[in-house]
Amino acid sequence: NAGVTQTPKFQVLKTGQSMTLQCAQDMNHEYMSWYRQDPGMGLRLIHYSVGAGITDQGEVPNGYNVSRSTTEDFPLRLLSAAPSQTSVYFCASSPDRTNTGELFFGEGSRLTVL
């Protein structure tokens, strides 16, 4: 199993540009989520999904969109990037859709918005 795969690992954007961070998992996990990690602020939940066709907002959803058309994929879209979205983004999945089980993280994507 490859686990949770994120692409790209690094990306530099200009303000106003759009992009999609890709996340795929091959463990047949129903739960998938996106976090951003900023210095001194831990991991903050952006959006999550408990199964194909179901998504919901986390703590910091503004400026981000998600969709879940398949069990395997959970892309994160930035429609109009802002410098405040400079961060490291982690995708995570779990076999437990009730959020009481281990999260398996991807390697992270470092995004810089100029």
Partner 1 sequence: GENVEQHPSTLSVQEGDSAVIKCTYSDSASNYFPWYKQELGKRPQLIIDIRSNVGEKKDQRIAVTLNKTAKHFSLHITETQPEDSAVYFCAASRNKFYFGSGTKLNVKP
Query: Is residue 41 a contact residue for partner 1 (CB under 8 A)?
Result: yes
| Residues in a beta bridge with 93 | 32, 104
Identify whether the C-beta of residue 10 lies closer than 8 Å to the C-beta of residue 109. Answer: yes
Subset of 55-94 contacting partner 1 (CB under 8 A): 58-59, 90
- Binding window for partner 1 (CB under 8 A); candidates: 10-18, 33-41, 62-70, 72-80: 33-41
Q: Whole-number minimum distance, CB 91 to partner 1, in Å?
A: 10
Query: Is residue 44 a contact residue for partner 1 (CB under 8 A)?
Result: yes
Binding footprint of partner 1 on the chain (CB under 8 A): 33, 35, 40-45, 48, 58-59, 90, 98-103, 105-108
